Structure 1
Amino acid sequence: MITSVETLLVEIPTIRPHKMAVATMQTQTLVLIKIETSDGFIGWGEATTIGGLGYGEESPESIKTNIDTYFAPLLKTFTDLNVAQIMQVLKKNINGNRFAKCAIQTALLDIQAQRLGLPLSEVLGGRLRDSVPVLWVLASGDTDKDIAEAKKMIEAKRHNFFKLKIGSRAVEADVEHVLTIKKALGADISIRVDVNRAWSELEAIKGIQLLQDGGVDLIEQPCAIDNIDAMERLTRRFDIAI
Structure 2
Amino acid sequence: MSALGFTACGADAESAAESSGSTGEASTSATPGPESTDSTDSTEETAGAEVTESPGSAESPAEASASGGQPSWANPVTEPGELLSSIEAGDLTVDVYQVGTMPADDTGSFVDPETNTPLIEVGDTLVFLNYVVSNNGAAVDLGPSLVDVSARYDDWPYMQGMDGLTGDELWAAQGINEPGVSVEGYSEAGIYTFEPGQRFSYGDNFEHQPGSPITFDVTYIPVDAAGELLHDERVDAEGTATIS
> TM-score if structure 1 supplies the norm length?
0.22
Q: Which has the higher contact order (CA 8 A, sep 6+)?
A: 2
Structure whose residues are more often helix by fraction: 1
Larger C-alpha radius of gyration, 1 or 2?
A: 1
